[in-house]
Amino acid sequence: MRPSSSTSDLFGPLFGDPLVDAEVGDGAWLRAMLDFERALAVVQAHAGIVPQEAARAIVSAIDSAAPDPASLGARATASGNPVVPLVRDLADALPAAAKAYVHHGATSQDVLDTAASLVAFRALRPILDGLAGVADECERLAVAHRDTLVAGRTLAQHAVPTTFGLKCAGWLVAVDEARDRLDAVRAERLAVQFGGAAGTLSALGDAGAPLVDRLADELGLVAPVLPWHTDRTRFAELAGALGSVAGVLAKIARDVLLMAQTEVGEVAEADGGTSSAMPHKRNPVRAVLVTATTRRVPGLVATVLASMDHEHERAAGAWHAEWETSSELLRLVGGAVRGTQELLSRLEVDAARMRRNLDLTGGLLLAENVSVRLAPALGRAGAQDLVAELCRDAVARGLTLGEALAADARVLEHLSTGEIDEALDPSGYVGSAAAFVDRALAAHQRKADR
């Protein structure tokens, strides 16, 4: 079967991953649909529902099939889905005695829901592998920069000192947790679908229900308690888990974009892109593309969630809305994973620039530490009020905070100049940063050892 995909040759390489793209294109969907029909014939033959000779003919026809996605798509408009023309083509390739047994007892949604589960199951393997690579890059950076000082920023302003290692450890924990959830969805929630016309397998009588477990075993998917034609929690959980991964990767890309700004200059992409008009620029291209990719994901997640209200026993349009949506979700998340792994593997960290940026406010980001040291003598509120006053005075007069503190008798009554210098040393006010990095690294190692 010739692989086919609707991914753009012009824009696709910017936002996808070839390994994932191969598992979500037209060819992958057709392979999954045919896998369902093959498995159905096999298990029904084992159960004595379909003659062995007919099952062998069906399997042979499937193995030699080379369906054309364009032809199937054009003919699908008559029935609203591509399963109908696909099954008709299979029947046409069968001997007369086997024609009645292809697709026996199934409905189009059985094929498409199972195919969607298979497509997701297969596409998630390279995504999960890529996420493991992203986590390893976060781990490497956290180890290398465990004690590298950087300005902590809240509401986009300098807050208190932290370490770049702790920032990377935060990325690491988020990636590991999002990966765990996605892995659990893959292992526990991607199920076979087999319910027939209205979820009763009426065409098979009492023989139908046991086939669900056999189909699941044949295809390597979960066996559901009931047909889930109108219970879309499985796909909602998949979409949510993919959305969480995208959000985690978006946060990493956003941090890099902000830290790579010319005025900040704390990180850079090793082979950053150039501008068509400004040759001096070193653009953080991978961070930009990850940002662009992940921004498209929430809308797709919302489409899946908005499609959960399937009416009665089979929905009119809601499940149709999931097909391309789920493929695009997988494709975009796969592209974001690949882009983030490349971004982090090539990230250059300027520790000296990080240290210089700590001094941009003349010690103001250590104001909290000064307040803490004055609190035993002045009380918490009194210390905060005094330090806030001196911070305003330092800004107004163009002084460093150290100069303002050393010139104030109220401060010198309780702190010596040496103690002031000590309070304004950012390396002495990172709290449990190193311990938190170590905790994150240990947790990651435990996951790797499982």
Q: End of a domain among 355, 374, 408?
A: 355
pTM of the model as a whole = 0.94
- Write down the pLDDT at residue 9: 82
Interval 144-160 mean pLDDT = 96
Q: Examine the residue annotation and report whether 439 is marked as an active-site residue of this protein.
A: no
pLDDT range class, residue 330, cuts 50, 70, 90: very high
Q: End of a domain among 355, 379, 394?
A: 355
Same domain, 282 and 189: yes
Same domain, 122 and 169: yes
- Does 435 map to a domain? no
Q: Examine the residue annotation and report whether 275 is marked as an active-site residue of this protein.
A: yes
Asked if residue 276 has pLDDT above 70, the reply is no
* Total number of residues shown for the chain: 450
Asked if residue 309 has pLDDT above 50, the reply is yes
Same domain, 140 and 251: yes
**Contact present, 232 and 190 (Cβ < 8 Å):** no
- Does 270 map to a domain? yes
- How many whole angstroms separate alpha carbon 196 and alpha carbon 209? 11
Which is catalytic among the residues 60, 275, 427, 432?
275
| Residue 358, phi then psi, degrees to nearest 5 | -60, -30
- How many whole angstroms separate alpha carbon 142 and alpha carbon 440? 9
- Does 330 map to a domain? yes
- Does 3 map to a domain? no
Average pLDDT, rounded, for the chain: 94
Same domain, 47 and 69: yes
Please, what is the angle between helix 26-46 and helix 83-92, to 10°? 60
Same domain, 350 and 380: no
Q: Say which amino acid occupies 134.
A: V
Interval 150-177 mean pLDDT = 97
- Does 4 map to a domain? no
- How many whole angstroms separate alpha carbon 334 and alpha carbon 13? 11
- Does 438 map to a domain? no
Interval 118-139 mean pLDDT = 98
- Does 1 map to a domain? no
Closest CA to 254 of 206, 289, 280, 300: 289
Asked if residue 24 has pLDDT above 60, the reply is yes
- Write down the pLDDT at residue 124: 98
Other CB atoms within 10 A of residue 180 CB: 14
Same domain, 222 and 246: yes
Same domain, 317 and 415: no
Same domain, 257 and 376: no
Residue 109, domain CATH? 1.20.200.10
Expressed in angstroms, the distance from the first to the final Cα of the chain is 38
Same domain, 399 and 349: no
More confident position, 8 or 345: 345
- Write down the pLDDT at residue 279: 54
Domain, as residue range, for 284: 12-355
Same domain, 393 and 337: no
Asked if residue 4 has pLDDT above 50, the reply is no
Interval 78-92 mean pLDDT = 96
- How many whole angstroms separate alpha carbon 132 and alpha carbon 337? 10
Which is catalytic among the residues 75, 88, 282, 314?
314
Same domain, 81 and 213: yes
Same domain, 293 and 398: no
- Does 443 map to a domain? no
Residue 395, domain CATH? 1.10.40.30
Give the chain's domain count: 2
- How many whole angstroms separate alpha carbon 25 and alpha carbon 2? 11
- Write down the pLDDT at residue 251: 98
In the chain, the percentage of residues whose pLDDT exceeds 70 is 96
Helix (H, G, I), strand (E, B) or coil at 273: strand
In the chain, the percentage of residues whose pLDDT exceeds 90 is 92
Closest CA to 234 of 286, 186, 296: 186
Q: What tokens does 97 get?
A: 């005695």
Interval 6-10 mean pLDDT = 74
Asked if residue 339 has pLDDT above 70, the reply is yes
Q: End of a domain among 338, 355, 372?
A: 355
